[in-house]
Amino acid sequence: AFEGLSERLENSFKKLRAKGKLTEADVKEAMREVRLALLEADVNYKVAKEFTNKVTERAIGDDVMENLTPGQMVIKIVNEELTELMGGTESRLSIAKHPPTVLMMCGLQGSGKTTHSGKLALKLKKDGHRPLLVACDVYRPAAIKQLQVVGSQIDVPVFEMGTINPVNIAEEAVKHAKDHGYDYVIIDTAGRLHIDEALMEELQNIRSTVHPNEILLVIDAMTGQDAVNVAKSFNESLGIDGVILTKLDGDTRGGAALSVRAVTGKPIKFVGTGEKLENLEVFHPARMASRILGMGDVLSFIEKAEMALDEKKAAELEKKLAKNKFDFNDLLDQFEQIERMGSLKDTIKMIPGIGKQIKDEDIDERAFDRLRCIIYSMTKQERANPEIINPSRKRRIAAGSGTSIEDVNKLMTQFKQMQKMVKQVGGRKGPKVSKKMRR
Ligand code: GDP
Ligand code: MG
């Protein structure tokens, strides 16, 4: 998803960045391009227009035009406004004061209600909860069976009463949950190919009977603006609390993700990124905005780096680089700097160019701690003169850090490569720590 949009935005930003100083006309021209890019990504017309108007207003006002890197500032504003457009911050599920928390899944047929009932159940289970799935789609013959298959895959029980009135099933299910200590009830309801009175009435009846804590509308991202229109109607006739946007892994242009919030006023809470029950992600507006801009969250990366990088340390490092000296103490410092920037995962994700290629599961925060442990097990002398670390020292370090000789060897190899790199950097004229980073 979003490749087309990202590419188009990147192109119009390239032009902006190339300019030393921006005129009002430059900004307006860039925003015309942004608007076209949004429309092409199937963003609602009004939403696209309001969005670019807002960015233009901010970019022309303020001191943006006077800024040294005005193009960069405009991109920063686009990033912020995209985030805002998608709701600003993450929206969590509300929780019942007295369990169970009742989640009601609704949406058109094929949008992904049954699959996402299962995904949510799995997520809740992993978080230590006891969810109960409820089969309230009594019209499609195989619907109950489908939910049972999903339930058995994740070992979550499914409450069903055959094909009786779904309002009664929902009511009985909540009672059952109370009696048996389930703290979440996930009601999988029926969908139709189109919104119709009968469907809405049934959903309204379930709602007024079990008073769900969350009515979650499941919409298919592949259907673009239609999905947004569906969301609007469901919200008007049923009232929804949030949206689950599914099939974001597919060939969607992404417009739904950008328009839903603006059109309905309701946030996207989760996104479905595949057919597997693990493929559910909490929706992070800021991260999504960065993904769309396709450049990692460059600006906040720089901001964080600026805050974290200690000025004195940076100056010391520069001196060492100039002398081609880089030892384990410096590496430890670097680790600390990264730590101050927040979670390793979040930090790496923000690095332009590589951030978006790295998945959460690729980053093992504990591996990072393991490296630190190894360095801590070195003597002062060893840290300052890594070349003295011979096999017997390695054995001692491995034992001291609770790691293996292989781990120590791996660190040594990586470290040597790092030293090489540092040498290259230090060998050039002037240190590589930029003025901007030091502020
Ligand atoms: P329901 O009719 O709303 O209950 O929809 P289902 O849960 O039965 O899903 C309809 C189809 O969409 C199934 O084939 C699912 O495997 C598929 N599906 C659901 N969510 C996703 C998703 O996030 N990504 C992809 N690629 N397929 C999905
Ligand atoms: Mg279903």
Residue-level pLDDT at 371: 83
SS3 content of the chain, % helix, strand, coil (to 5): 60, 10, 30
Whether residue 328 has pLDDT greater than 50: yes
Ligand 1 contact, 249 CB (< 6 A): yes
Strand segments (E) across 261-351: 268-272, 280-282
Whether residue 428 has pLDDT greater than 50: no
Q: What percent of the chain has pLDDT over 70?
A: 80
Ligand 1 contact, 114 CB (< 6 A): yes
> How far apart (Å, rounded) are the C-alpha atoms in residues 201 and 352?
49
In the chain, CATH 3.40.50.300 sits at: 101-293
DSSP string, 94-107: P--SSSPEEEEEE-
Ligand 1 contact, 294 CB (< 6 A): no
Residue 174, burial from CB neighbour count under 10 angstroms (0-12, 13-18, 19+): buried
Confidence of residue 207 (pLDDT cuts 50, 70, 90): very high
Decide: 295 and 71 in contact? Cβ < 8 Å: no
In the chain, CATH 1.10.260.30 sits at: 298-438
Whether residue 435 has pLDDT greater than 60: no
In the chain, CATH 1.20.120.140 sits at: 3-85
Average confidence score pLDDT of the chain: 84
| Neighbour-count burial for 52-73, b at 16+ CB within 10 Å, e otherwise | bebbbebbbeeebbeeebbbbb
Residue-level pLDDT at 353: 47
ipTM of the modeled complex: 0.99
> How far apart (Å, rounded) are the C-alpha atoms in residues 231 and 221?
11
Interval 235-278: pLDDT, tens: 999 999 999 999 998 878 789 999 999 999 999 999 999 999 99
Decide: 134 and 143 in contact? Cβ < 8 Å: no
Whose CA is closest to atom 16 on ligand 1? 275
Whether residue 187 has pLDDT greater than 70: yes
| Neighbour-count burial for 267-283, b at 16+ CB within 10 Å, e otherwise | bbbbbbbbeebebbbeb
Distance 188 CA to ligand 2 centre (A): 7
Beta-carbon contacts of residue 76 (< 8 Å; ≥ 6 apart)? 299
> How far apart (Å, rounded) are the C-alpha atoms in residues 252 and 87?
20
Confidence of residue 198 (pLDDT cuts 50, 70, 90): very high
Q: Ligand 1: which of 114, 115, 117 to mutate, judged by most atoms within 8 Å of the beta carbon?
A: 115
Extract the tokens encoding 51.
Answer: 């969005």
Interval 278-300: pLDDT, tens: 999 999 998 888 778 765 444 44
Whether residue 309 has pLDDT greater than 60: no
Residue-level pLDDT at 60: 86
Residue-level pLDDT at 263: 94
Q: What percent of the chain has pLDDT over 90?
A: 52
Interval 140-159: pLDDT, tens: 879 999 999 999 999 999 99
Ligand 1 contact, 113 CB (< 6 A): yes
Ligand 1 contact, 252 CB (< 6 A): no
Q: Smallest Cα–Cα separation from 304: which of 186, 436, 166?
A: 436
Distance 358 CA to ligand 2 centre (A): 33
Residue-level pLDDT at 111: 97
The number of the ligand nearest the C-alpha atom of 113 reads: 1
Whose CA is closest to atom 20 on ligand 1? 112
Q: Domain 298-438 classified CATH 3.40.50.2000?
A: no
Mean of pLDDT values over 224-231: 93
Ligand 1 contact, 148 CB (< 6 A): no
Extract the tokens encoding 136.
Answer: 């309230």
Ligand 1 contact, 275 CB (< 6 A): yes
Q: Domain 101-293 classified CATH 3.40.718.10?
A: no
Distance 190 CA to ligand 2 centre (A): 6
> How far apart (Å, rounded) are the C-alpha atoms in residues 304 and 349?
13
Where is pLDDT greater, at 136 or 435?
Answer: 136
Residue 392, burial from CB neighbour count under 10 angstroms (0-12, 13-18, 19+): exposed
Ligand 1 contact, 111 CB (< 6 A): yes
Residue that is written with structure tokens 């890197």 in the block: 69
Q: Ligand 1: which of 117, 275, 278, 280 to mutate, judged by most atoms within 8 Å of the beta carbon?
A: 275
Whether residue 379 has pLDDT greater than 60: yes
Beta-carbon contacts of residue 247 (< 8 Å; ≥ 6 apart)? 112, 220, 221, 222, 272
Distance 218 CA to ligand 1 centre (A): 10
Where is pLDDT greater, at 129 or 249?
Answer: 129
In the CATH hierarchy, which fold is given to the domain comprising 3-85?
Four Helix Bundle (Hemerythrin (Met), subunit A) (1.20.120)
Interval 82-120: pLDDT, tens: 999 999 999 999 999 999 999 999 999 999 999 999 999
The number of the ligand nearest the C-alpha atom of 109 reads: 1
Whether residue 355 has pLDDT greater than 80: no
Residue-level pLDDT at 288: 85
Q: Smallest Cα–Cα separation from 70: which of 26, 138, 17?
A: 17
Distance 258 CA to ligand 2 centre (A): 25
Confidence of residue 35 (pLDDT cuts 50, 70, 90): very high
For ligand 2, an ion, list residues with CB under 5 A: 113-114
Instruction: Please tell me the least confidently modeled range out of 12-16, 279-283, 399-403, 406-410.
Output: 12-16
Ligand 1 contact, 281 CB (< 6 A): no
Query: Beta-carbon neighbour count of residue 181 at 10 Å?
Result: 10
Whose CA is closest to atom 28 on ligand 1? 275
Residue-level pLDDT at 129: 97
> How far apart (Å, rounded) are the C-alpha atoms in residues 227 and 243?
11
Residue-level pLDDT at 358: 60
Ligand 1 contact, 118 CB (< 6 A): no
Interval 44-87: pLDDT, tens: 999 999 999 999 999 887 667 666 677 778 888 998 999 999 99
